[in-house]
Amino acid sequence: MSKKFWKLGATAAAGLLIAGSALAQSGVSFKDPANDDNGPGSYTYPTDGVYKRGSFDMTAFDVKVSGKKVDFAVTFNTALEDPWRMGGGFSVQMVFIAIRTGAEGGFKDGPPGTNVTFADGNEWNKMVILSPQGPGKVKSEVDAKMAAAQGGAVIIPTRVKGAGRTISASVDLDQLGGGDPSQWGYQVLVQSNEGFPDGKDLLTRKVNEYEGQHRFGGGTDSDCDPHVIDILAGNGTGAADEAQMQHDMLKYECNPDGSRKSGAALKMVSAKK
Amino acid sequence: MRFSRGFAIGLLASAAALASMPALAVDGQTMIITGEDYTKWLWGNQHTDGSVYNFTTVPGEGYGDNGQGTEIDLLISSHPSKNIEVTGRLQSRFNQNQWTNYAGFGGRNPALENPPNGECLGGDCGEFDPRSNEYIKIRGLTARFTPGFKWLDAATIGSTDLGMFDPYTIGKIRYIDRDNAKAILFQGPLGSRQLTYDLIRVSLPRLFAGPNFNTGDYAGQDGAYGLQLKFNPSSFFDIVGVYDRVRDVEVSAKDTGNNGGDDGRDLDSRFKNDVYGGRFGIHPSSKFDFRGLYYYSTAESNPKFGTPTGFGLSGFSPALAGEVSDPLYKANVDLNDPFGIGLSFNIEYFNIGAQYSSILAARREVDVLLTEGHDGAFVFPGPDNSAFGVFAGNPTRIGYGGWEGPAQQVATISVDNEFTDFEEPMAETVIGWKGITVAPNWTIGDLDLSGEYSHIGYNTNWQAWGDTSRGITDSIYPNFESDAGVNSFRNAYAPFQDKKTDIAILRGKYLLNVGKGVDVFGKIKLIKETDNRLNEARFLPYQPGDCPGGGVACSNNAQNFSPGHSTADLYGNPPVITVNGVTGYQWKPFNSLSDDDRDLDYKLFQLGAGYQVTGNLYSSLTYERYNVDLQDGNTAFQAYNLHSMSSGQNDKNKLILYAHYTFGAAEFGANYEYNWGTFDPDFGGGFVTQFADANIARDYGVPVGSPGFKGRFGGWNSLDKRDFKQHRLKVFMKVRF
């Protein structure tokens, strides 16, 4: 092939790159330590072969503002796969992005099935759900399983994409109430997409005492344990001690009857001022 | 049977241990019953209605592109004690339960017919056939014990889909059969949780898991034993070892004294299959991942129990004849965005032995290779997707459009595409494949680019099945539908092969910022495949100059490639015929190494767009154009005398309209396809063209007087350009309750 062809190709590629980077105007990025995909420290993956090492190990969370859009991206410690042919480039992951914008108030309870609460002053008032299920399915689950006020604060992106190691989606800044997302607080709950969820669970996979083919292990058979596998902690820098902070945040105790004695109280993570 | 005895002792010990575990009743124990209503509508212009599935090759089962059917699936679960969980599944069978059966009353009773036991199709046997009388069947029942021992997390007894191993050894059962396998499974840690084990005993499926797709007369003791050890010493490294041992036994034919009543009866092996090896991963950083796997298999069929000692040119069996062995190995390197610009690379080297055998390897719904492989749009030897062969009475099944999308690759010749519909992925065997795939993917803002280049060679490249001591129609390899045609899904072998395949793909997806955003996507796929097949002159069937031409008959002096063996057994000489005053050979004599050459030039262009019409409705429209220029031997080769020839230009178009709608707990999906195209045959020269008489016209659906030629076995290959048009629609409803 001619030199002209290659020159043209290189110029076009460079142009695309510049155009791509120019789209990202502002935002905030967080890191999360690798290998802390064990909830409060004891959780283990289901035994089916589709749950590959690192599938629920979040390593980065990025928020970028592009014009009137806000792009969310969650990166994992393994290449994404789509073994269940969901069509979006990933299958087993499910991510809840809890946001505390500048607005007052919010919700202390996490999404149904996660069994987490948010600490005082860390309530969420917007939540973006990144699911491989279609938006219609997610919306019907939200309508059926979340209180109306909570459900009204949930934003379901029209499309969620998995590529490489990253799950990403965009929503309108207006849907988030406007403002500057770089100043907000965030918490990211990593769960697993469950096509056959328990009656009250919002497409989430259970954590049991022992891992099963499609259930996480290392928790309890009752619902007093937090059903999240990885979250942000500390300042979201990815420092090694953030794994311990995560374990502390997700620490729980159960009563003999299986009800919760004390449980996870999550804190938001925000950009260091 | 030392292993079995040891395993039985282990089982007893475990049973005793389980018996001593606490069995605390849970207050307020509940049994949860959920269910699903799955209803399917099929419509197509082939107007067949044998069953509510588009495709099967299983004799006696129906297939069809028209009909409506409903099945119920009841899922039951309960915790009778704290440490015990029971789950079950009851389901009505789908096959021929069309709505038109009116709940399965009445119908033909094949037992009372003369002759008896005729095939039931389309539900016409009503209540007299379980495929059409709406009976409910137990599909799964599993008890899971979690006794709380340090060394045992869970003991599972009953149904399992075998998803805990891997697709190369004991593979996951396909979704519709997910509870069919019954097993005893132990899982837990060995010492620390860094080392865990899975130990299983699976009863061997008598339906397919042995030579000739069965496990012989005595099945009660047939089983597979699997041990998997997983070691995760650090986040940097992990390794898994697997041993899979399959034993299909029969009552010994020698032990006939007093019918074995005095001292029991001995057992003898019908089929043995051992696979051992492992896989590992090295993960030094988030940018770099290396994974490797190696498995070695041995298999042995015992002909004393009727297993084949050889196959003809077209054998059907999931197991090779005799004693075979071969490895399978792969290495994968993932480079994740090494330049920080969103550009990643996946690289895979693969080498799968010609005799690699794992009778329980995954048969579909997995993808063991990185490459996209072939497409489902052209499958089976005929350009019209004829079911099998060049003979009359052989109508197409899946239809001209084939299956949608690229194939999934499986590491077995026991590929399972049975009871599928057109929009499901097709699986293809990769036994014998070796090569490399490089797959970059690049995300630039809203543009996703990905691609692939694969070069595939074959461990099955050989002459005379790789063993010149045997005849050409006497092979240890079952080759199913043979390799003639654009592609076949379960054919791994050919008598003569000198083949290589190159696949290049570029995919793009872009989010167009219009309305809620339009997904624009497309793909270009090129496949170049050549196969010289017979490539040494000593394998030509007849002596040089045997057929001199000019209307002179062939001398029929066969040439042996080894004592007593000649390819003339397969490629017989043509008679001299005269048609409309033209005298010559009925087909071209096989006298050149190029007579059977294959040269596939395959191009696919795809363009589509999808849109989220409302919060609940997504729809897409896709157009695909296939240009396939295929030279697949001439009239000397005749597609192994068995199949319709497909040399020529195939142009196929596919228009696919897809919609998915969610309404509360209900989901609806629809997939409409319009396929149209042409096949312009080019079978070369060197023969006298014949013309269809009334009988040929009737049997093969061609016009009287249309050109073609009659092959060695009497099959008719038309030389007419053919036009195809196929409409088909599948709509489903799923309601969870």
Give the other-Cβ count within 10 Å of B660's Cβ: 20
Take residue B70 and report the two structure tokens written for it: 């409903």
Q: Quote the pLDDT of residue B26.
A: 47
State yes or no: pLDDT of B18 exceeds 50: no
Categorize the per-residue pLDDT at A16 as very low, low, confident or very high, splitting at 50, 70 and 90: very low
Residue A54 is predicted with a pLDDT of 94
pLDDT of residue B4: 47
Confidence (pLDDT) at A22: 43
Average pLDDT, integer, range B306-314: 92
Checking if the pLDDT of A80 tops 50, the result is: yes
Share of chain B above pLDDT 90, in %: 83
More confident residue, B201 or A263: B201
Q: pLDDT at position A4, please?
A: 58
CA distance B403 to B374: 11
- Report the complex ipTM: 0.87
Residue A4 included in any domain: no
The string of DSSP letters for B337-367 reads STTSSSEEEEEEEEEE-TT---TTS--SS--
**Residue B105: partners with Cβ closer than 8 Å, 6 or more residues away:** B126, B127
Closest to B672 (Cα-Cα) out of B691, B652, B656, B661? B656
| B334·A79 Cβ contact <8 A | yes
CB B409 within 8 A of CB B473: no
Cα–Cα dist B98/B69, whole Å: 5
Question: pLDDT tens digit string along B553-581?
Answer: 999 999 999 999 999 999 999 999 999 99
The parent domain of residue A33 ranges over: 26-270
Distance between CA A111 and CA A191 in Å, rounded? Answer: 11
What's the pLDDT tens digit per position in B268-290? Answer: 999 999 999 999 999 998 899 99
Shortest CA distance from A76: residue in chain B: B286
State how far the Cα of B320 lies from the Cα of B308, in Å rounded to an integer. Answer: 8
Residue B383: pLDDT band with limits 50, 70, 90 = confident
Q: What confidence category does residue B516 fall into, taking pLDDT thresholds of 50, 70 and 90? A: confident
How far is the C-alpha of B293 from the C-alpha of B514, rounded, in Å? 46
Contacts of A161 in chain B (CB under 8 A): 448
Average pLDDT over residues B57-75: 93
Of residues B497 and B117, more confidence is placed in B497
How far B275 CA sits from the closest chain A CA (Å)? 18
Judged against a pLDDT cut of 70, whether residue B298 lies above it is answered with yes
What order of strands is seen across the sheet that includes strand B707-710?
A: B690-691, B707-710, B716-718
pLDDT at B713: 92
pLDDT band at B15 (very low <50, low <70, confident <90, very high): very low
The count of domains in chain A is: 1
Instruction: For residue A21, tell me if it sits in a domain.
Output: no
- Dig out the tokens for B574 from the structure: 């043509």
With the CA atoms of A176, A182, A187 and A190 taken in that order, what torsion angle do they form, in degrees rounded to the nearest 10? Answer: 90
Q: Residue B59: its pLDDT value, please?
A: 86
Contact B235 A212 (CB under 8 A): no
Residues whose CB falls within 8 Å of the CB of residue B460, separated by 6 or more in sequence, listed in order: B354, B431, B432, B466, B492, B493, B494, B497, B499
Domain membership flag for residue A214: yes
| Mean of pLDDT over chain B | 92
Instruction: Tell which A residues from 84 to 123 touch B, by Cβ distance under 8 Å.
Output: 85
Reduced to 3 states (helix: H, G, I; strand: E, B; else coil), residue A20 is helix
For A241-266, what is each residue's pLDDT tens digit?
999 999 999 999 999 988 889 888 89
Nearest-CA neighbor of A106 among A125, A122, A121? A125
B21-57 burial by CB neighbour count: b if 16+ within 10 A, else e? beeeebeeeeeeeebbebbbbbebebebbbbbbbbbb
Question: Quick check: is A56 in a domain?
Answer: yes
Q: Chain B: nearest CA to A195, how far in angstroms? A: 11
B527, amino acid identity: I
Q: Which of B232, B170, B241, B228 is nearest to A53 (CA)?
A: B232
* Range in A127-136, B114-123, B303-312, B562-571 the model is least confident about: B114-123
Only one residue has tokens 């009204």, namely A152
B contact test, residue of A159, A172, A255 with most B CBs within 10 A:
A159
Residues of B in contact with A199 (CB under 8 A): 32
User: CA-CA distances (angstroms) from residue B168 to A80, B294, B354, B361?
Assistant: 21, 10, 14, 5
What number is the average pLDDT over the span B574-597?
97
- Range of lowest pLDDT (B28-37, B74-83, B581-590, B671-680): B28-37
- Given a cut of 70, whether residue B14 has pLDDT beyond it is no
A175-185 burial: b if 16+ Cβ within 10 Å, else e: ebeeeebeebb
Residue B340's Cβ-side half-sphere holds a number of Cα atoms within 13 Å equal to 1
Instruction: Flag whether residue A217 sits within 8 Å of chain B, measured between CB atoms.
Output: yes
User: Quick check: is A8 in a domain?
Assistant: no
pLDDT digits (tens, 9 = 90+) for B315-357: 999 999 999 999 999 999 999 999 999 899 999 999 999 999 9
* pLDDT of B60: 86
A-chain residue closest to B82, CA distance = A221
Q: Is there a contact between A255 and A223 (Cβ–Cβ < 8 Å)?
A: no
A134: contact with B, CB 8 A cutoff: yes
Q: What integer pLDDT is reported at residue B105 of this predicted model?
A: 87
Domain extents in chain B: 69-324, 325-646
Which residues are B74's β-sheet partners?
Answer: B35, B90
Do residues B500 and B512 make contact, with C-beta atoms less than 8 angstroms apart? no
Q: pTM for this one?
A: 0.92
Instruction: Say yes or no: A12 contacts chain B, CB-CB below 8 A.
Output: no
* A211–B contact, CB cutoff 8 A: yes
Please give the average per-residue pLDDT across B160-176, as a whole number: 95
Confidence of residue A10 (pLDDT cuts 50, 70, 90): low
Which chain B residues are Cβ-neighbours of A210 within 8 angstroms?
A: 146, 153-154
pLDDT at A7 over 90: no
Which CATH number does the domain housing residue A251 bear? Answer: 2.60.40.1190
**A18 inside domain:** no
- DSSP H or E segment with residue B717: strand B716-718
Closest CB to B163 among A35, A49, A139 = A49
DSSP class per residue in A145-210: HS-HHHHHTEE--S-EEEETTEEEEEEEGGGGTSS-GGGSEEEEEEEEB-SS--TT-SSB--B-SS
pLDDT at A3: 58
For B367, name the nearest residue in chain A, comparing CA atoms only: A83
Other beta carbons within 10 Å of A259:
10
B494: closest CA of chain A, how far (Å): 32
> How big is chain B by its Cα radius of gyration, in Å?
28
Using DSSP's 3-state secondary structure scheme, residue B594 falls into helix
Q: Kindly state whether residue A19 falls inside one of the protein's structural domains.
A: no
**Main-chain phi, psi angles of B153, to 5 degrees:** -75, -50
Distance in Å, alpha carbon of A77 to nearest chain B alpha carbon: 6
Write the residue in A140, A165, A166 that is nearest to B662 by C-beta. Answer: A140
For residue B184, the Cα-to-chain-centroid distance in whole angstroms is: 27
Pick the residue from chain A with its C-alpha nearest to B228. Answer: A47
Residue B48 has pLDDT above 60, yes or no: yes
Q: What is the mean pLDDT of residues B530-534?
A: 98
What is the rounded end-to-end Cα distance, in angstroms, of chain A?
Answer: 53
**Which residues, in sequence order, are CB contacts of B411 under 8 Å at separation 6+?**
B167, B168, B328, B352, B356, B358, B361, B362, B368, B429, B430, B431
CA distances from B687 to B89, B546, B575, B691 (A): 61, 15, 10, 13
Closest by Cβ to B517, choosing from A159, A210, A211: A159
